[in-house]
Amino acid sequence: MFKNMPELPEVETIKIQLEKFLTGREIIGVEVRNRKTLADGEENLPGGKIIGVRRFGKVVVIDLDNDYSVLIHLKLTGQLVFQGPNLPGKHTHVIFDLDGGKKLYFNDLRKFGWIKIVKSGDVATESFIAKLGPEPFKDLTLEKFKEILSKTNRPIKIVLMDQTKISGIGNIYANEALWLAKINPCVPARQLDGKTARHLYSVILEVLKDGLKWGGASDQAYIQPSGEEGKYQEHFLVYGRQGQICQRCKKAKIAKTKLGGRGTYFCPICQK
C-alpha cells in the first residue's frame, strides 16, 4: 500500500539533505518528462546556482542566485532523490541536471505533486504558502494553538490537518498525536479544555520531533534524497494498526473509521 505521505518530519528530512547535496551547485538544465508536474506549465526553468533550501509546511523551496525559487509539493507519493540508482524510472517526471554530472530526480507515482517557479521575492505571497497556518517549532505557540482550537467546532483531527490552521501535520502524525493525548479524533476542537489542549500541543511537538529523529516514515512511497528509507513507521502506535490490541490499555482493538475522507485510527477505550 502506498499509504504514507510526506508530512513535516519527512519534508524537513528532505530539506536538510537537499541543503547538503545541492547548495552551491549549478543547475545546468532541466528535463521535463511530464509537463503536468509544472503547476503553471512553465517551459523554461531558469537554471542558476542553488544558494539554499527552505521548507514551508510540506513545501520544499529551492532558492537560486538568479532571483528565482523552485517550489515543490510532494503530496502523497512525490520523491526528491539525489543521484539514485535505477533512475530515471517510470515515475520520474522532472530531472534537474547539475554540475559535475550530478542529478536531482523528481519522482511521483500518483502525479499529485507539483513544481512551481516563482520570483524569490514572491515566495511568501505565493497562493499556497500565503495561506499556511503557523509552523510548529516556530510561530505555533501554546497560546496560538489554544486560540485556533477555540474558534471552531470541527473535529479536532480535521483541524490539526488543516494546513491553513497549522502547517505540516498530515494523517500519520495527527493520528499518532491524538492517540498519545487520549483524545477522540471526532471531538469538536472547541470542546477541548485548557489542560487537554496543552497536553495535545506538547504531544504534537513530540511526535513531529520523533518522526524527524527517525528520518520520517517510509512505506514504499517516501524515501529520502539519499535513497535511504525513514524508520518512523516502525514506531507507529496507532496508524495502520486497525484490529490490533491497543498498546496502552491492552484491551480494545484499534478501530478504523473515516473522518473528512481520511483513514482514522483510534482506541475506542483510551480515546473517549
Q: What is the largest CA-CA distance in the chain?
A: 59
Least Å from the CB of residue 109 to DNA: 5
Work out which of 152, 184, 196, 247 binds DNA, going by CB under 7 A: 152
Q: Does 151 bind DNA (CB under 7 A)?
A: yes
**Which residues are CB-neighbours of 250 under 8 A, at least 6 positions away?**
none
Residue 271 corresponds to which amino acid? Q
| Whether residue 12 lies in the annotated active site | no
The nearest distance, CB 250 to DNA, in angstroms, is 25
Q: How far is the CB of 113 from DNA (least distance, A)?
A: 9
Sign of CA dihedral 192, 195, 196, 197: positive
Does 76 engage in binding with DNA (CB under 7 A)? yes
Rounded to 10 deg, the angle between the 194-213 and 8-22 helix axes is 40
Cell of 33: 518528462
Stretch that binds DNA, among 13-21, 40-48, 103-111, 202-210 (CB under 7 A): 103-111
**Residue 54 binds to DNA (criterion: CB under 7 A):** no
Decide if 7 is catalytic: yes
Judged by CB under 7 A, the residue of 170, 216, 225, 230 near DNA is 170
**130-160 in b/e burial notation, b at 16+ Cβ within 10 A?**
eebbbebeeebeeeebbebbeeeeebbbbbb
- Which residue in the set 119, 131, 209, 213 belongs to the binding site for DNA (CB under 7 A)? 131
Distant-in-sequence, close-in-space partners of 110: CB < 8 Å, separation ≥ 6? 2, 75, 76, 77
Please confirm, yes or no, whether 58 is among the known catalytic residues: yes
Closest separation in Å from C-beta 84 to DNA: 17
Segment interacting with DNA, rule: CB under 7 A, options 81-89, 125-133, 207-215, 226-234: 125-133
In angstroms, give the least distance from the CB of 153 to DNA.
6
Q: Please give the grid coordinates belonging to residue 18.
A: 537537499
User: Per CB under 7 A, does 78 bind DNA?
Assistant: no
Bridge partners for 23 per DSSP: none
Interface region with DNA, contact rule CB under 7 A, candidates 2-10, 16-24, 62-70, 210-218: 2-10
**CA-angle at 246, arms to 270 and 2, nearest 5°:** 115
161 lines the binding site for DNA (CB under 7 A): yes
- What is the CB neighbour count within 10 angstroms for residue 40? 10
Catalytic residue numbers, as ranges: 6-7, 58, 262
| Residues lying near DNA in the complex (CB under 7 A) | 1-3, 5, 36, 57-58, 73, 75-77, 90-91, 109-112, 127-128, 131, 151-154, 158, 161, 163, 170-171, 220, 258, 260-263
